A = this chain, B = another copy of it.
Amino acid sequence: MLLENQVCFDVHAASRALDGVYRKELRELGLTYPQYLAMMVLWERQPVTVKELGVALRLDSGTLSPLLKRLEAAGLVRRERSAADERSVLVRLTSEGAGLRRRALEVPGRIFEATGLDLAEVIELQGTLRRLTAALDEASR
């Protein structure tokens, strides 16, 4: 049961290492990695409800609520109750939030470079991780 033999540790370590690189790349944008993920969803489509964001990012409201409040405090998004369904909160970009996209476009390329992987490896890795995540989600239910 040696630590060295457990792939779980490697997943965990890789995740934190990624976080470190993003921290560096996103510092000038004033975003953390999870905030950047949320912004990516919003750059693709808006408005979205907190629920939809949670599905896209696999995060619950206990994580998203304070995160979105910080984005709102930073002036990047606005939140308002849906008129159609008062239970829902719609999240929209401010013009400042929308404008941040241009600067963010360069990030994925720089991250890809930092991974040191080639495209085939990335695709292979991605496939394995997705199957892994699906199996794990099933198992923790």
Binding site for B on A (CB under 8 A): 1-3, 6-24, 33, 37, 40-41, 43-44, 56, 58, 104-105, 107-108, 111, 113-117, 121-122, 124-126, 128-140
Q: Is the CB of B136 within 8 A of A128?
A: no
Given that A20-B137, A140-B24 are known contacts, is A14 also in contact with B13, CB under 8 Å in the complex?
no
Q: Which residues of B contact A130 (CB under 8 A)?
A: 10
Q: How many copies does the complex hold?
A: 2
Given that A18-B12, A58-B13 are known contacts, is A114 also in contact with B136, CB under 8 Å in the complex?
yes
> How far does the Cβ of A71 sit from chain B's closest Cβ, in whole Å?
16
Q: Which residues of B contact A111 (CB under 8 A)?
A: 6, 8
List the 3 closest pairs (A to B, CB-CB), nearest first. Answer: A116-B135, A114-B139, A15-B15
> How far does the Cβ of A50 sit from chain B's closest Cβ, in whole Å?
17
Q: Is the CB of A14 within 8 A of B116?
A: no
Give the docked Cα–Cα distance between A7 and B56 (Å): 15
> How far does the Cβ of A91 sit from chain B's closest Cβ, in whole Å?
15
Q: Tell me which of B8, B20, B116, B122 contacts A18 (CB under 8 A).
A: B8
Q: Is the CB of A2 within 8 A of B44?
A: yes
